[in-house]
Chain A
């Protein structure tokens, strides 16, 4: 056992990298669910975003354009879900599951020919002075822009939901769509916008994996992170800061347990391997002992006839 081989600075830095895809996908889904829509297609939107972002980044040589394309790709797939559930009034669970299947297949199709291609590397933040600081510089100020974008989105979502009129309307639609409708709010329009936002976030989360975290394209490379994001939203009781905490916990424990394994710590590896799931769920369940609950209209179909 040799704990000195673990560099805490690099550990904290890679923790943020491991947490970001989950954070992006989960915060997008949080907004969708706050609007009363259950979209189980996160995995499909992530993988579609991963390949759209990858393909555009490789073809244009600009990773930022890739991220934009990923957001677009995720949103386009989400639009399909919106059409099915909001206009055709299809079942949300079935449509969401279908979306995941479709996304996995579509991404494999688009991804033909991109295997083994190396994407252009992503620019890291480099603020003279700040990024050169001994410890904090590496932990806080030398990441790729997406890490900050993730944090920014969480902050913006929290602020919007809590302090703005738009947030209040979104929550009203999610809590009681009939009342919101009676008040004259466009329930469907609001929900479609939320779904598109969720798709764009999931797409960016996927692109983070294919452009930065791995970086390469492999079929099925999101390997279930979308499902973890869905679970995270529930365990975080639909609160943005808890999503952030949960994502960092999950990403953090994942990286820490790998570090502990490599350092040869005498904890049985089985426990280390299950620790990210256990610790994240445990912490969030304890925190949700307060009276937070799901949006009341979550998953229910809305039609203006009633």
Chain B
């Protein structure tokens, strides 16, 4: 993987030579954690990049580097992009947080946008989507549809975003099915189709008939399709190619409007460091079509929940809710505040197992 970047860096360096004559164009850079063809997370970010090109045409130039590991390599790629004349750089994975802050300090005139993180600076904004709103709907469908009462969950890394998703899905699965149990497997990768498929197979072997994933590729759905009689959900992207198989719905990240707005802000000179966290209401999180495999009344309930969340009438984390150890987290009717959600490092009552540190 390192080599991909070496070559890309070389390509970027070449670009540097030609960059001078295109000063009037805004160069927008993207750093991706997986390949643009992963069918999930990175695929959606790249759709956002293409939307920028479609919107602004000749006035922008976009560049991207894919499959950049989270760590020192990311810093090198970002530095190269900044040296190459990028005026706005989107870094699209949680693990790019510190590299983004470090590089941003060296290039005060370049604007940075970091996805899913919480560290900001004068030239670093953060943005994320309230994926947990979609997880609530998934949990509702999963709890209703499981027959073995075992839901398998493939986690990537134990970071607040992923834990939030697990909690949200679990709360809503339990609500409709008090016997439901979650089996959670941590893959420790965002993108490794073989490992993701292995994890899905293991969960299926251990009795799960619903697979929820928080990794980037469509591999868990492929494994579910192979096993038969298993349902799953598209993650980050619609993954509709599995709609006549295991996929019954999906959470779709729609970054395009945000990317276009931020690019325009840089062009107008109105860009400031902000913290954006949007959900179903503003359209950053979409719910993919719920297929006919889902019973009509469950589908109707799920859509009603979606509308309630979008309208701000319902918050997926509404009390009474206890933490895993039984202590009270939210009292009756109380709603979780964003600070707690952003730093979430505990399971809610009923989930078994401990969160890795």
Chain A residues close to B by CB (< 8 Å): 5-7, 10-11, 14, 18, 21, 97, 100-101, 104, 108, 111-112, 115-118, 121, 209, 213-216, 218-225, 254-255, 258-259, 261-264, 266, 268-270, 273
Contact = CB atoms under 8 A, between A and B. Distances in A.
Nearest to B34: A220
A223 B218 contact: no
B281 interface: no
Contact of B206 (A97, A222, A262): A262
B356 A269 contact: yes
Contacts of A261: 184-186
B226 interface: yes
A51 B306 CA distance: 39
18 contacts: A14-B205, A121-B226, A213-B198, A214-B219, A214-B222, A215-B222, A218-B37, A218-B193, A220-B34, A220-B191, A221-B217, A223-B189, A223-B194, A261-B185, A262-B152, A262-B185, A263-B206, A266-B354
The 5 A-B residue pairs whose C-beta atoms are closest, nearest first, are A116-B241, A219-B37, A219-B35, A269-B356, A216-B222
Interface string B183-200: 111101101111101110
Contacts of A218: 35, 37-39, 193, 217-219
Contacts of B198: 14, 18, 213, 254-255, 258
Contacts of B352: 264
Contacts of B152: 262
B153 to A, nearest CB: 10
Given A116-B218, A218-B217, A273-B188, A101 B206 contact: no
Contacts of B36: 219
Given A216-B219, A270-B357, A116 B242 contact: yes
A264 B219 contact: no
Contacts of A255: 198, 202
A101 B7 contact: yes
A3 to B, nearest CB: 11
A269 B35 CA distance: 27
Contacts of A21: 194
Interface of B: 1, 3-4, 7, 34-39, 67, 152, 158, 183-186, 188-189, 191-195, 197-199, 201-203, 205-207, 217-219, 222-223, 225-226, 239, 241-242, 245, 352-354, 356-357
A258 B35 contact: no
A258 B192 CA distance: 14
B205 A216 contact: no
B3 A214 contact: no
Given A100-B3, A214-B193, A219 B226 contact: no
Q: Which of B1, B34, B239 has the largest number of chain A CB atoms within 10 A?
A: B1
A114 to B, nearest CB: 10
A14 B239 CA distance: 26
Nearest to A40: B3
Given A262-B206, A270-B356, 4 more contacts: A5-B206, A100-B3, A108-B37, A269-B188
Contacts of A220: 34-35, 37-38, 67, 191
B298 to A, nearest CB: 26
Contacts of A116: 39, 218, 239, 241-242
Given A115-B39, A220-B191, A264 B223 contact: no
Contacts of B203: 262
A110 B286 CA distance: 31
Contact of A219 (B38, B225, B357): B38
A14 B197 CA distance: 11
A34 B322 CA distance: 61
Contact of B37 (A11, A14, A115, A259): A115
A7 B207 CA distance: 10
Nearest to B241: A116
Contacts of A101: 3-4, 7
Contacts of B38: 218-220
A223 B185 contact: no
Contacts of B353: 264
A21 B223 CA distance: 17
